[in-house]
Amino acid sequence: MPATISDGGDAGGRSGRGIPPRWNSAIRGVFFVLCLLPFLALTNAVISDSLGPDPAEHLMHVTGEWVMRFLILVLAATPLARWGWPRLARYRRMLGLYAWFYATLHLLIFTQVYIGYSAQTLVEELANRPYVLVGFLAWLILVPLGITSANRFRRKMGRYWKKLHRLTYVVAILGWLHVFWLSRSDLRDAVVYGLLIGFLLILRSSSLPKALRQV
């Protein structure tokens, strides 16, 4: 099963081990609110003027961190399902859409603060700063993934839907490059994200021995 921004239910179509089906809506609602908490925390910090000495930098950093975290959760959903924990796979679509949501916030903050919604300045930034280019490319790829996450697109697109949503791998790699080029002297986050993404990509690789992939 490829990594996708959308979900297709649990492995084997189960609603979750030991969880009554009637609880699914409540659990989904709780999961939705948990994913929204970082945004609510940032909103509260903006209102209370508690973002620190560099508010724009703080907003950029936090939204970017959450994009990477959600992408890693999307990639981890299928391996976890294979290992007997299918619950996360049920919320893969939600996780992917939240990755797109926080990536859009990240881009909007950058556009507002650093380039002032100037198309010319944006082009200059894309040409001169590699981290801006890879970050912008990652967001551009997330746009069609988010739009086509609805079930009706999945039915209409057939096998092409899975091919399109394999671009989630590309988004994760571009996101890591964005973090890496921004890291300068502190590479800790870049190393952690790189190891996690690399490990998950290896787990999902068709070249990995079947026995190991089904552990």
Rounded distance between C-alpha atoms, residue 36 and residue 71, angstroms = 15
Whether the predicted pLDDT of 19 surpasses 50: yes
Nearest to 75 by CA among 195, 207, 209: 195
How does pLDDT run across 93-132, given as a tens digit for each residue? 999 999 999 999 999 999 999 888 888 999 999 999 999 9
Q: Note the pLDDT of residue 61.
A: 93
Rounded distance between C-alpha atoms, residue 55 and residue 67, angstroms = 18
pLDDT band at 88 (very low <50, low <70, confident <90, very high): confident
Q: Note the pLDDT of residue 22.
A: 64
- The region that residue 10 occupies, defined by phi over 0 for left and psi between -120 and 50 for alpha, beta otherwise, is beta
Residue range 45-60: mean pLDDT, rounded:
92
Rounded distance between C-alpha atoms, residue 181 and residue 60, angstroms = 15
Residue 190: partners with Cβ closer than 8 Å, 6 or more residues away: 176, 179, 180, 183
Rounded distance between C-alpha atoms, residue 159 and residue 162, angstroms = 6
Which sequence spans correspond to the domains of the chain? Answer: 11-213
Rounded distance between C-alpha atoms, residue 151 and residue 55, angstroms = 39
Residue 173: partners with Cβ closer than 8 Å, 6 or more residues away: 197
User: Under a CB-based contact definition with an 8 Å cutoff, are residues 146 and 90 in contact?
Assistant: no
